[in-house]
């Protein structure tokens, strides 16, 4: 069953109300008689599964191009270009 309470009751008794929601009750919250929110119990989610990251080039095979003479070897602009090429 869904219960409706004014926001004042939520403000004054939030711990009790959250315990009720946790135990399975759904509660509508009103402001000036209009429903503005609904508190529902959390849904159980399946455990997260891990999967390997998808990469096009393993980082061990990535080659940094040699720097031209008088130029810094790696710049932010260089890395931005690399990221655009990958994708």
Assigned domain for 51 exists = no
Task: Give the model confidence (pLDDT) of 74-86 as tens digits.
Answer: 677 778 887 877 6
Domain that holds residue 13: 2-39
Assigned domain for 24 exists = yes
Assigned domain for 28 exists = yes
Assigned domain for 63 exists = no
CATH number, domain containing residue 10: 3.40.1620.10
Task: Give the model confidence (pLDDT) of 7-43 as tens digits.
Answer: 999 999 999 999 999 999 999 999 999 999 999 998 7
Assigned domain for 74 exists = no
pTM of the predicted model over 0.75: no
Specify the number of domains making up the chain. Answer: 1
Assigned domain for 59 exists = no
Distance CA 33, CA 50 (A): 46
């Amino acid at each position: 069953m869904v219960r409706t309470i004014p926001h004042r009751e939520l403000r004054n008794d939030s711990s009790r109300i959250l315990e009720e929601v946790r135990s399975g009750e759904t509660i509508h919250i009103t402001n000036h008689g209009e429903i503005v929110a609904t508190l529902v119990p959390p849904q159980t989610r399946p455990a997260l599964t891990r999967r390997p990251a998808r990469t096009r080039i393993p980082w061990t095979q990535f080659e940094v191009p040699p720097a031209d003479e008088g130029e810094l070897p790696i710049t932010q602009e260089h890395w931005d270009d690399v990221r655009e090429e990958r994708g």
